[in-house]
Amino acid sequence: RDFSISANPASGTVQAGSSATTTIATQTTAGNAQAVNLSASGLPTGATATFNPASVTSGGSSTLTIATAPTTPAGSYNVTVTGTGETATHTATYALTVQGTSGGRTFTNGTNYTIRDYSTVQSPITSTATGTATSPVKLSVTISHTCAEDLDIWLRGPNGQWYAVDRYGGTSCTSYGTRTYSVPVSQQAAGTWTLEVSDVYLGDTGFLDSWSITV
């Protein structure tokens, strides 16, 4: 006696705070039908899973509802659905994408920071957007500097995580000007976002003019 299990659809996308639904189907693949208990693991923070019904006879199906919380971090998650039968245990995977709810608000810091050779500057922005940051966050950075290849640029999110934005390096110098970036993140929108700019090579200097972030 044996059975199989699958999720249809096998993936879904929700905004944080909303629910995703999929059908968990089972089939008897050998011998007689058997009772199968269903459970889910690998859920994102704040999310709960409910099966209706919580157990089926193989050949039957159940509706899985995954309810996320407003605080559930944006990101991609693989939820494992486990069917525990009388003779065997099988799993199916449901790919859940949680989107941010911060609504794409933009914040700016226009303070100038002098960039010297072999020095690092940090420019903070305090975001009052609520919910999870809409990933990817968008950056617009304006730097007056004759050698962008000298510059190593990182972003730190409110939860302390660092993200590489633009790495130093190159065989010839180009003026930096204004550049835009999309940075995938998975964290809250509110709090202090910090842009860090390091000049890692001798000769060219400049200043961070302004930057903005859309979270």
The contact set with Ca ion (CB under 5 A) reads: 110, 112, 117, 150, 199, 201, 204, 209-210
C-alpha 62/C-alpha 176 separation (Å) is: 56
Q: Are 12 and 22 in contact (CB under 8 A)?
A: yes
What minimum distance in Å lies between the beta carbon of 203 and Ca ion? 5
The CB-side HSE value for 33 (13 A sphere, CA atoms) comes to 10
**Dist CA 16 CA 77 (whole Å):** 13
Rounded to the nearest 10°, the torsion over CA 109, 115, 120, 126 is 0
Compute the least distance from the CB of residue 173 to Ca ion, in Å: 9
> Residues 68, 70, 74, CA angle at the centre, nearest 5°?
75
C-beta of 102 vs 149, nearer to Ca ion = 149
Nearer to Ca ion (CB atom), residue 21 or residue 144? 144
CB closer to Ca ion, 2 vs 209: 209
The CA–CA distances, whole Å, from 215 to 140, 166, 167, 183, 192 equal 12, 18, 22, 10, 12
Residue with the closest Cβ to Ca ion? 150
Q: How far is the CB of 165 from Ca ion (least distance, A)?
A: 18
- Minimum CB–partner distance for residue 42 and Ca ion (Å): 45
Measured from the CB atom, is 77 or 113 closer to Ca ion? 113
